Amino acid sequence: MRRIGFAIALLLCVPAQAEETVLPDVAAPVPIDAIPEGPSVDDRLAEIRRRVEAALVYPPIARVREVTGLAEVVFVVGPDRRAREVSLAQSSGSAVLDRAALRAVADAGTLPHVYGRIIVPVEFALH
């Protein structure tokens, strides 16, 4: 009788086989743009360049002296959508043109959101 009781106790202690749980297929996460709706990053960068060019004022003294050049300005777009940490990545070779390029970025107004540092070429050419 003791053996039967012991056998029954063993059977009660053995866990029943659990049914195999099948999890649904989960796709790996896909990297997305921080701003998924609206224009692409390339479109936003083109808009930033357009706004900088629209704010650009060719310095009269440079125009009279026929000074030309290409300055590259680097900056980030802040949370208020304005250019922050504006500096020269590459000088045009003329301090007057460099200052005008920096001022154009500062005067471009609100800009589309783009994360990271942006380099915008600012060309001064007489047409």
| Tally of CA atoms within 13 A in the half-sphere of 97 that contains its CB | 22
| Closest to 92 measured CA to CA, from 68, 75, 74, 108 | 68
Class of domain 38-124: alpha beta
What are the residue boundaries of the structural domains of the chain, listed by start? Answer: 38-124
Global model pTM greater than 0.75 = no
| Closest to 52 measured CA to CA, from 103, 93, 95, 96 | 103
Mean pLDDT estimate for the chain: 82
- Segment 4-9 shows an average pLDDT of 49
Buried b (16+ CB within 10 A) or exposed e, 24-41: eeeeeeeeeeeeeeeeee
pLDDT band at 6 (very low <50, low <70, confident <90, very high): very low
Residue 35 has which token pair?
């701003």
- Segment 26-51 shows an average pLDDT of 75
pLDDT band at 23 (very low <50, low <70, confident <90, very high): low
